[in-house]
Amino acid sequence: MTKSNKTDSEGKITTKKDPQKEITPWLNYQGKAQKKKVQSKKVGKSLTKLQRTRRRNIFLKLGLLLTISVLVVAGLAYYLSPYSLVQKIEVQNKSDLTDAEVVQTSGINSGDHILFTYVSQNSVKQRLTKRYPSIKDVHLEIELPTTVKLRLVQHRTVAYLKQGLVYRKILQNGQIATENLPETQIKPLPVFIGYDKADDLTADLKTFKKIPKDIRNGIKYINERVAKDTQMVLVMKDGNVILGDKRTLGNKITLYPKIKVSLKAASLVDLEIGAFSKPLSENDKKTYNS
C-alpha cells in the first residue's frame, strides 16, 4: 500500500498513512516474542528431562553400589561365621560300604568350608570312583546350613566271585568290587567259584553276559573245575549241571528250557557237542557242587 497526499482548505498538504504497514512491525515483534517463548519452554522441558535422567542414573548407580556393598559384607560375614563350615556329612545309597570308609576316601572333613567343598565335587567323585569300582557316580549336595550329603550311584551287581570264605561283587561293567562280603550279605545271584586266574574269569564273564537273562537268573554257580580250558560248567538252582563250550554256550544254552522239561531227575546236560543229558552220578555231584 502507498501513502496518499491530500490538500486541505487552507492549502496544507496532509499525508495519509497505510494502517497495515503501521501495524506490521508490532505484529512481527509479537511473533518473535511468541517464538522465543515457545523455544524457551522447549529448552526448559529438555533441561527438566535431562535433570530427571541424570538423577535416575545417579540413584541407579547408588543402588547398585549399595547392593554390591551389602552382598560383599554379607558374604564376608558368612565366610567368617561357623555356618560356612561343614559340620555334618551324610552318605546315601552306600550299599555295602560304611559311612566312615566313604567319608574318609572323599577327603571331606568337618571344618572344611562348604563353598570350597561344593566346587571341588569333581575331585570327590574321582577319589571315590577310583577307590571303589562299585560306585558309578557321586552327587554332592549341600543342605543348609552346615550339612554335606554324598549320594552314591552304584553299578548293578550281576554275580559274585567267591574267594576263600568271602565274596566280591561282579559288576555290570565287568569290574570286580573291592569289598569283601560274608555269605550272609550276598544276594541270590550266580557265584563264580574256583577262579584263580583273572584271564579265565574274564573269558567266562564274556560268555556269561551272552546267556539270556531268564536262564542266567537260574544259575547257582559257575564252576572253574573243568577238564578243558574251553569248557564251562554251570550249576543250576534246579539241581541240574550244564556243560558247554564257552565259545558256543551263549547260543546253545537257549535249548536248555526244552531239555529241562523232559528231565525226570537232576541231570548233567552236555551242550559241548550236540545236546544230550544223563542223570547226575554221585561223583558228578561231588565234583560240580563242591
Kindly provide the b/e burial profile for residues 126-151, where b requires at least 16 CB atoms within 10 angstroms of the residue's own CB: ebbbeebbbbeebebeeeeeeebebe
Q: What is the pLDDT of residue 158?
A: 95
> Do 274 and 172 belong to one domain?
yes
**Stretch 240-262: mean pLDDT, rounded?**
93
Q: Is the pLDDT of residue 284 over 60?
A: yes
186 vs 30, residue with greater confidence: 186
**Stretch 198-202: mean pLDDT, rounded?**
90
List the grid coordinates of 269.
546236560
Summarize pLDDT for 161-195 with one digit per residue, the tens: 999 999 999 999 989 999 999 999 999 999 999 89
Q: Which of 133, 154, 175 is the last residue of a domain?
A: 154
> Do 66 and 94 belong to one domain?
no
Q: Is the pLDDT of residue 128 over 70?
A: yes
Q: Count other C-beta atoms under 10 Å from residue 153's C-beta.
A: 12
> Do 121 and 205 belong to one domain?
no
* Nearest in space to 127 (alpha carbons), one of 141, 108, 106: 106
Q: In this structure, is residue 2 part of a structural domain?
A: no
Q: What is the pLDDT of residue 39?
A: 61
> Do 243 and 179 belong to one domain?
yes
Summarize pLDDT for 61-71 with one digit per residue, the tens: 888 888 888 88
Q: What is the pLDDT of residue 227?
A: 74
> Do 96 and 195 belong to one domain?
no
Distance CA 125, CA 139 (A): 8
Q: What does pLDDT average to over the chain?
A: 86
- CATH number (domain holding residue 212): 3.40.50.10960
Q: Count other C-beta atoms under 10 Å from residue 259's C-beta.
A: 17
pTM above 0.75, yes or no: no
Q: Which of 154, 184, 202 is the last residue of a domain?
A: 154
Q: What is the pLDDT of residue 176?
A: 94
